[in-house]
Amino acid sequence: MNSRTYQPISAQTKGHGKFILGCFINAGSWYNTINRIHRWTATRESRYVCICNVHSLVTARQDEAFRKALMDADMATPDGMPIAWMLRQMGFPNQQRINGPDLMWNYCQLAERINEPIFLYGSTQKTLDILQQKLLAFFPKLLIAGTCSPPFRKLTNQEDTEIVNLINQSGARVVFVSLGCPKQELWMAEQRGKINAVMVGVGAAFDYHAGSIKRAPLWMQHHGLEWLHRLYSEPRRLWKRYIVTNSIFILAAGWQLIVYKWKM
């Protein structure tokens, strides 16, 4: 790997942000976030971006490998209003929620304008086919360099190498990764330095934009209630994630804020 391809970002150079439940979360506007990704793509740097919500931070407390993947990320954005609210209480009063589906959509708008090729990695082939149609309907000049729907199992070393080569040979500058948490974060951490592009883990963004999953109304998104909409839509699969992890987060985050305010 060429040393110019990836230079580690130290804790001191990660940018503005705070540690929330033990993980560093970057503070910044939509403009700052998109512009930072673009600076990396312009020089073909191998980087990865994690989109962190309540589930991510609680999972990281229980899974050291996943926590390391979040901590080693070149940027970790506050997905979920509770994370944004925490940053607002800790010195960033104007912090916005930087979520996966909107980050992907907004960056595609930029990519179309500057002719920057993207790659779609994850989900099913059916979803990818629909997603490509939807993206090109809104962004007719968007360069989709390639897509790949990996098997829903651990990849062999040969398969892993083939996928890395496929992405690199495509010429993509940004790779949107939709494998779900924590799989996508662990995969991106493993591929940094191998894939010559910026990897952005966007969670369920592929399904949202393809229409496979209906997203919460805007008023619920703006009031931090998107989790409730997802719980209502898929109660059997998500009840534990939201009921248990949300409770853990409220207790842990509440204590962190009490300590933070007390030290001020």
Q: What CATH number should be reported for the domain holding residue 143?
A: 3.40.50
Q: What is the pLDDT of residues 179-212, one digit of tens each?
A: 988 999 999 999 999 999 999 999 999 999 998 7
Give a yes or no: residue 27 inside a domain: yes
Give a yes or no: residue 250 inside a domain: no
Provide Rg for the chain, Cα atoms: 18
DSSP letter string, 28-77 = --HHHHHHHHHHHHHTT--EEEEEE-HHHHHHHHH-HHHHHHHHT-SEEE
- Per-chain mean pLDDT for the chain: 88
Give a yes or no: residue 107 inside a domain: yes
CA distance 148 to 113: 24
Q: What is the pTM of this model?
A: 0.88
Helices 235-263 and 54-62, packing angle to 10 deg? 80
Domain residues for the domain of 139 are 11-214
Q: What is the pLDDT of residues 143-180, one digit of tens each?
A: 999 999 998 888 899 999 999 999 999 999 999 999 98
In the chain, the N- to C-terminal Cα span, in Å, equals: 44
CA distance 94 to 160: 41
Give a yes or no: residue 182 inside a domain: yes
More confident residue, 263 or 197: 197
Q: How many domains does the chain have?
A: 1
Give a yes or no: residue 251 inside a domain: no
Sheet with 174-178: strands ordered across: 75-78, 47-52, 198-201, 174-178, 118-122, 144-148
Give a yes or no: residue 167 inside a domain: yes
